[in-house]
Structure 1
Amino acid sequence: MKRWLSLVALACWLPVAQAVPLEQLTVRICGTPAYPPVSWVDRSGRVTGLNAQVIKALLEPLGVTVDDQQNSNWRRCLKEVELGNVDVISGFKTEPRQQFLNYLSTPIINEDIYLYYPIDKPIHFQSWQDLAGLRVGILMGDSFGDEADEALRHYPNLEFVSKQDQNILKLVDARLDAVPMGKLSGQLDIRRLGVEGKLGYTATDVSDYWYVAISKHSPLMEHFAELDQRLGGLLADPTYTARLLQQQQQLYLESLGLAQQQDEP
């Protein structure tokens, strides 16, 4: 009894851990380099794009310092979040990722996933089962939603790469039959690599949302409710994301020296 009372007294005496104020925090973000203008890594090694700008708009006015330097691919980015070395990412919401991430409730943007293929070997998509037996290129760490991911796991001919450029060039050389990519990013990358007219594409049944997600190890979790409410307010204006997306697409094209070409008739 005396021991129990002493433990109670000790518990009462110990200080209660307080959340670190937001203005004292420095957090790391990372993202997929393969989805411009939604997410990419620029030549200086900074993660940028629509999603990174939304994350900064969410955190920086609250006094949070955002470290956006990234020297890893998407799969390594996800692993760093899981280990607690990165605080915030944006991506599709999947069951495996929810083991180490908590997603804010308001999505940033909807992304359509297309299948790209050699122009002379078209694919008519009806379901992900149609890809059985085909050579399919997948970016390491990429996800297309739980249902599509589960279907792809059963295919023996998946080829994983660390950079999307590898997939696109393999398609051009007919060393792959299909690559699932974002509609916007795929078309921008095809243009960047100068292979327009060599690849075709078709829509899939995947049209999912990018969310802001916080590592369960991050000190930002102490402020989750506040950040969730603030993001909802930030994205309440339906024109906000559209304006930012157009701005980021223009920035991406300018970084490649393609903006003037875009404006030509």
Structure 2
Amino acid sequence: MRLAAVLLVAFIAMPALAQQGTETVAPLTVTVGANHAPPYRILSGGKESGLYIDIFRNIADRLGWEVIYREAPFRRVLRMMQMGEVDIMLGPLRTPERESMMAFVAPAFPPERKLFFYTDESNRITRYSDLDGKRIGVLEGASYFHRFDTDDQLQKEPAPRYKNLMLMMQKDRVDVVIAPELVGIYTVNNLDMAVSISPFFVPGERSYIAVAKNSPVLDYADDIRAALKLIKHEGVYEDLILRYMERREPEGKISGSGSAGEL
């Protein structure tokens, strides 16, 4: 086990040394396109944080990379990947359509349930068929699960950020908002809204570090995977996951003005 760890460290060190080992070779600079979606990706006041960014920062540090972040709505980031304006995207789900423009290099981020948030009891979702006739708030360009994504009979109302969607629900412009668990709860807590979570939910899938197929960073795909293995071996990855998971509200409620018994 110790020998394997030493070999892994040596393998990780090679690309960084190759980039920074002489005065004439500058470190690789990569541009990451990211939408502001706390607590995954937090881009505010020139500072970057959040679970996905913290994980990628640890990977980039071990590779000796310099990272530049460009913030834009999710759908715009997808377009930037397609146009070669950014190298990397953090957290997209793998879909056939996206595979045409990006390589899903490493399943670096944990799976997370997709939840249905509501404010009026008549909009409680207990089964998929309850979505019929509902105005459902969705993030522009996002993928949730195949049946939902391809269901043209559902009335989906898009917005560029989850904050916008929750406010739309508060103003009765949508009945239900679908969102990943952490970002949904984080958004509701920050808005101090009285919101409930439906018993019907969809299990999550792992999301990826994706590299644009027209980016030279794609040549470093093996290095990204090796660096991810290293931070997992060091315990850094697990520590980051636990730190963010512990910020969730206890099961059974959402903080703020929500009533007892709400998630």
TM-score with structure 1 setting the length: 0.75
Q: Percent identity?
A: 21
Instruction: Report if aligned partners of 1:112, 1:206 keep a CA contact under 8 Å in 2.
Output: yes
Instruction: Report if aligned partners of 2:125, 2:131 keep a CA contact under 8 Å in 1.
Output: no
Amino acid in structure 2 at the alignment position of 1:124: I
1:249 positional shift: 7.3
Residue 168 of structure 2 corresponds to 170
| Counterparts of 2:212 and 2:47, CA distance in 1 | 20
More displaced stretch, 93-102 vs 113-122: 113-122
Residue 133 of structure 1 corresponds to 133
SS of equivalent residue, structure 1 residue 104: strand
SS of equivalent residue, structure 1 residue 175: coil
SS of equivalent residue, structure 1 residue 235: helix
1:243 aligns with 2:243: no
Residue 144 of structure 1 corresponds to 144
| Counterparts of 1:50 and 1:130, CA distance in 2 | 33
Candidates 215, 221, 228, aligned match of 1:224: 221
TM-score with structure 2 setting the length: 0.76
Instruction: Report if aligned partners of 1:135, 1:159 keep a CA contact under 8 Å in 2.
Output: yes
Residue 58 of structure 1 corresponds to 59
Using a 3 Å threshold, how does the CA distance of structure 1 residues 116 and 224 change in structure 2: closer, same or farther?
same
| Counterparts of 1:143 and 1:45, CA distance in 2 | 28
Candidates 29, 34, 38, aligned match of 2:32: 29
Residue 263 of structure 1 corresponds to none
More displaced stretch, 240-249 vs 73-82: 240-249
SS of equivalent residue, structure 1 residue 121: helix
Using a 3 Å threshold, how does the CA distance of structure 1 residues 250 and 94 change in structure 2: closer, same or farther?
same
Note the alpha carbon deviations across 1:48-106, whole angstroms, 9 max, x for none.
31111111211232221100242x11111111011111111122111211111111244
Note the alpha carbon deviations across 1:158-186, whole angstroms, 9 max, x for none.
21111222211121233211110111111
1:212 aligns with 2:212: no
SS of equivalent residue, structure 1 residue 179: strand
Instruction: Report if aligned partners of 1:108, 1:210 keep a CA contact under 8 Å in 2.
Output: yes
Residue 23 of structure 2 corresponds to none
Residue 184 of structure 2 corresponds to 186
| Counterparts of 1:227 and 1:219, CA distance in 2 | 13
1:205 positional shift: 2.0
Note the alpha carbon deviations across 1:97-149, whole angstroms, 9 max, x for none.
1111111244321111100011432423322x431221111111211133331
1:86 aligns with 2:86: yes
| Counterparts of 1:187 and 1:131, CA distance in 2 | 20
- Aligned residue pairs: how many? 227
Residue 108 of structure 2 corresponds to 107
Aligned Cα RMSD in Å?
2.8
SS of equivalent residue, structure 1 residue 60: helix
1:46 positional shift: 4.4
Residue 257 of structure 1 corresponds to none
Residue 6 of structure 1 corresponds to none
Using a 3 Å threshold, how does the CA distance of structure 1 residues 22 and 92 change in structure 2: closer, same or farther?
farther
SS of equivalent residue, structure 2 residue 108: coil
Residue 153 of structure 2 corresponds to 154
Instruction: Report if aligned partners of 1:94, 1:145 keep a CA contact under 8 Å in 2.
Output: no
1:68-79 matched pairs, under 5 angstroms:
68-70=69-71, 72-79=72-79
Amino acid in structure 2 at the alignment position of 1:191: N
| Counterparts of 1:96 and 1:31, CA distance in 2 | 19
SS of equivalent residue, structure 1 residue 116: strand
Instruction: Report if aligned partners of 2:75, 2:142 keep a CA contact under 8 Å in 1.
Output: yes
Structure with greater Cα Rg: 1
Amino acid in structure 1 at the alignment position of 2:187: D
